[in-house]
Amino acid sequence: MAVGVFDSGLGGLTVLDAVSRRLPDVPFVYLGDNAHAPYGVRTPDDIFALTCAATERLWEEGCDLVILACNTASAAALKRMQETWVPSHKRVLGVFVPLIEALTERQWGDNSPPREVAVKHVALFATPATVASRAFQRELAFRAIGVDVEAQPCGGVVDAIEAGDEMLAETLVRAHVEALKRRMPHPQAAVLGCTHYPLMQHVFAQALGPDVRVFSQADLVAESLADYLVRRPEMLGPGTEAKFLTTGAPRAVSDRATQFLRKPVTFEAA
């Protein structure tokens, strides 16, 4: 009954942590494509090929359902995967839709036509590839009308976090928030559209000010997954064992992951 969780690197561990807390009986298999991270500066074709390869690896582990806990993969590859590649007995879900459902105050999985919503000005912070894909705006337009989205590509933040350089990450986050505020001085909501950013949530919140509601993904994805599995229990795959896989060097990745999650994590080679 395992479920796969994929990320380009370590950022998806924030999502893994939330889904494991919400669904403690489900064994999750995490795959970090550390050998090819970061994805945020890659082309859509490249991201598609890498994400398909990682998803196949998780299917081999008995995970019929794979969560792309990576906004960049969800934005640049998921639609193409679902339309052209995923077989009917498997599922691949992304992290955008739960966030947008929360932002537009919908029930999980509510696919009714778009309607007016309370929030009108939204700031999106994400990787350059996610911003370039415009996937957030596309998914939002299916659900809401009249929402103005200003997106800020946050170059450098993922690298600084992966390198453990908190000071640099903080400086970059403040600069990106300032840049966005020059174009949208009064956002009502801010979306942290990258799995690494929850680690900098306090910095985003402080730089944005108390009037901006900050939406972060991990807990929203966990709630939405729990609801999905009640509706589709057959998507729990045959896998039985929770594990951490990486395409990178397991020892080095384990050390960085332990630092990142602030608890011991042991990766094995994918």
- The residues binding ligand DGL (CB under 6 A) are 7-9, 11, 37-40, 70-72, 127, 130, 158, 194-196
Is residue 38 reached through a cis peptide bond, with omega within 30 degrees of 0 on the bond before it? Answer: yes
Dist. CA 209–CA 80, nearest whole Å: 37
Residue whose beta carbon is closest to ligand DGL: 40
β-pairing, 268-269 vs 243-246, is parallel
Q: Of 221, 184, 186, nearest to 71 (Cα)? A: 221
Dist. CA 165–CA 257, nearest whole Å: 14
Whether 70 is a known active-site residue: answer yes
SS3 92: strand
Shortest Å, Cβ 8 to ligand DGL: 3
Shortest Å, Cβ 217 to ligand DGL: 8
Shortest Å, Cβ 138 to ligand DGL: 16
Structure tokens at 147: 């929402």
Instruction: Tell me whether residue 55 or residue 130 sits nearer to ligand DGL (CB atom).
Output: 130
Whether 194 is a known active-site residue: answer yes
Catalytic residue among 52, 63, 70, 154: 70
Instruction: Tell me whether residue 11 or residue 237 sits nearer to ligand DGL (CB atom).
Output: 11
Shortest Å, Cβ 154 to ligand DGL: 10
Instruction: Tell me whether residue 18 or residue 37 sits nearer to ligand DGL (CB atom).
Output: 37
Catalytic residue among 52, 63, 154, 194: 194
Q: Of 12, 71, 16, 5, nearest to 40 (Cα)? A: 71
Instruction: Tell me whether residue 27 or residue 193 sits nearer to ligand DGL (CB atom).
Output: 193
Cβ-contact 222, 19 below 8 angstroms: yes
Write out the catalytic residue numbers.
70, 194
